[in-house]
Amino acid sequence: MTKTNGRRLRGERARAEILTRSARIASIDGLEGLSIGRVAAEAGVGKGNIQVLFGDKESLQLATLEKAVELFHATVIFPAMNKKTALAKLLALVEGWFDFVERRTLPGGCFVNAVSSEYRARQGRIHDRIVEHRVATRERYRRLITDAKSTGELRADVDVEQLVFDLVANEAVANVAALMEESEEFERARSTSLGRIRESIPLPKRKRPQVPRRSSKGRAKDLSS
Amino acid sequence: MTKTNGRRLRGERARAEILTRSARIASIDGLEGLSIGRVAAEAGVGKGNIQVLFGDKESLQLATLEKAVELFHATVIFPAMNKKTALAKLLALVEGWFDFVERRTLPGGCFVNAVSSEYRARQGRIHDRIVEHRVATRERYRRLITDAKSTGELRADVDVEQLVFDLVANEAVANVAALMEESEEFERARSTSLGRIRESIPLPKRKRPQVPRRSSKGRAKDLSS
């Protein structure tokens, strides 16, 4: 390994360690609660180090946001997306979100939900990046629901936008409830989200009233066999 | 008027004016964004005046929270509670909440929702007071829904806790969406809340399936009159 590579590697490790700490701080106190001085003190390094590694406060805040999103990707999204079907992915994503918050993977729960509230009425780069993450979250749900409809895992008459909205609304209320120790509210959010998905699943064919249909030969065959 | 009364009155006016400003600041930047120096500067008074009127920072924060809640009471709750029936009160309360946020009565929307997120993972007097307001909000909805069921304005099989949860969840997501200028999301929150109430209303006995009206406002007006 060359000298330069070694230095870069050490820099990357230091950066990652500092961001792990800053993400934990900001998940509780908000991205506005981050200051170079505070992060330096809690990470046990000099303020100069933080400045060399991140530049100004806003860059530290942006890097912290990305670190927190990365953690959610690794813990929840990546394993969910490895499931086989669109419905399995969707369920794993929803369950994964509630588990992530319940287990305090970050002490303040879901980072994007928290900073969405913090930056809802502010302008600037941080606000804009949060909006992008919000859009991506909804788009992920939208795509999975649409896919699950097209494969028949979800009913054809499911209102995609309404289901996306319901899932996102339940997460918004649950992220506050979890930390406020309103566990009943948190559990209701989880069961409401899973319930909305479950009621969108077509009933199994066998449970339908066994009236023979004349129009479909295939169907008649099934029933007679 | 005695000298003492005059002084007290001036003090009360000064207090009210300062709190109006601090509520506007905190609705955007959070209660942590309030400092005696900043409020003094924006209100054009000396820091000493703020200290005499409010004491320490936490007392200013608590007084600001109460001022914001008071404003919501005067603008939304009080007029809603003057409606005649439980259902009319409920609809006025839900519509009033969305109007309050949409019109930026406070620039940051609903204060209790915003500071709930800010203080969800902090301890102390401010957190505890926010919890009390959250409990009161849910209790208000719970009571109105229960009353409306008992008078037959809402169906007997309506799940009270689920409806309370849905209304509160839609407000949580809408308060962020409104300020993020996600107007589609905001409108969906409003129509989902009003839709959940509307589907809880018994169908009229003679008229068979009723075509739902598109204008939620019109509908609410009809019911409250």
DSSP string spanning A41-75?
Answer: HHHTS-HHHHHHHH-SHHHHHHHHHHHHHHHHIII
For residue B164, is it within any domain?
Answer: yes
Q: Give the model's pLDDT for residue A218.
A: 42
Interface pTM, i.e. ipTM:
0.86
The answer, yes or no, to whether residue B176 has pLDDT greater than 90, is: yes
> Higher model confidence: residue B64 or residue A213?
B64
The answer, yes or no, to whether residue B197 has pLDDT greater than 60, is: yes
Q: Most A CBs within 10 Å: which of B120, B138, B184, B196, as the mutation test of the A interface? A: B120
Q: Give the model's pLDDT for residue A72.
A: 98
Identify the domain containing residue B212 by its residue range.
57-224
Contact present, B219 and B198 (Cβ < 8 Å): yes
Q: What is the 3-state secondary structure (H, E, C) of B176-196?
A: HHHHCCCHHHHHHHHHHHHHH
pLDDT tens for residues B40-86? 999 999 999 999 999 999 999 999 999 999 999 999 999 999 999 99
Poorest-pLDDT segment among A161-165, B91-95, B216-220: B216-220
Counting Cβ atoms within 10 Å, is residue B130 exposed (0-12), middle (13-18) or buried (19+)? buried
What percent of chain B stands above pLDDT 90? 82
Q: Give the model's pLDDT for residue B209.
A: 54
Q: How confident is the model at residue B220 (pLDDT cuts 50, 70, 90)?
A: very low
Contact present, B136 and B116 (Cβ < 8 Å): no
Q: Give the model's pLDDT for residue B158.
A: 98
**B44 part of contact set with chain A, CB < 8 Å:** no
Q: Do A28 and B166 touch (CB under 8 A)?
A: no
The answer, yes or no, to whether residue A57 has pLDDT greater than 60, is: yes
> Higher model confidence: residue B97 or residue B35?
B97
pLDDT tens for residues A96-133? 999 999 999 999 999 999 999 999 999 999 999 999 99
Contact present, B141 and B93 (Cβ < 8 Å): yes
Q: Give the model's pLDDT for residue B2.
A: 73
Domain count for chain B: 1
For residue B49, is it within any domain?
Answer: no
Alpha helices (H) along chain A = 3-29, 36-43, 47-54, 57-72, 78-81, 86-102, 111-118, 125-150, 160-179, 183-198, 217-224
Query: Per the structure block, which two tokens stand in for B91?
Result: 């609809």
Q: How confident is the model at residue A154 (pLDDT cuts 50, 70, 90)?
A: very high
CATH code for the domain of B216: 1.10.357.10
For residue A117, is it within any domain?
Answer: yes
Mean pLDDT estimate for chain B: 91
For residue A129, is it within any domain?
Answer: yes
For residue B90, is it within any domain?
Answer: yes
CA distance A185 to A192: 10
Q: Do B131 and A162 touch (CB under 8 A)?
A: no
Q: Give the model's pLDDT for residue B223.
A: 45
Q: Do B108 and A117 touch (CB under 8 A)?
A: no
DSSP string computed for B60-109? HHHHHHHHHHHHHIIIIIHHHHTSSSHHHHHHHHHHHHHHHHHTTSSTTS
Residues of B in contact with A168 (CB under 8 A): 173, 185
Q: What is the mean pLDDT of residues A34-41?
A: 93
Q: What is the largest CA-CA distance in chain A?
A: 80
CA distance A90 to A167: 10
For residue A181, is it within any domain?
Answer: yes
pLDDT tens for residues B198-214? 999 998 876 555 555 55
What percent of chain A stands above pLDDT 90? 82
For residue A198, is it within any domain?
Answer: yes
Poorest-pLDDT segment among A35-44, A74-83, A140-149, A209-218: A209-218
**A193 part of contact set with chain B, CB < 8 Å:** no
The answer, yes or no, to whether residue B225 has pLDDT greater than 70, is: no
**A34 part of contact set with chain B, CB < 8 Å:** no
Poorest-pLDDT segment among A10-19, A62-71, B82-91: A10-19
Interface of A with B in 123-142 (CB under 8 A): 131, 134
For residue B6, is it within any domain?
Answer: no
User: Distance between terminal CA atoms of chain B?
Assistant: 44
Residues of B in contact with A178 (CB under 8 A): 120
Q: Give the model's pLDDT for residue A10.
A: 85
What percent of chain A stands above pLDDT 70? 90
> Higher model confidence: residue A9 or residue A29?
A29
Q: Which 3 state secondary structure label does DSSP give A163?
A: helix
Residues of B in contact with A120 (CB under 8 A): 108-109, 114, 175-176, 178-180
Q: What is the mean pLDDT of residues A25-45?
A: 93
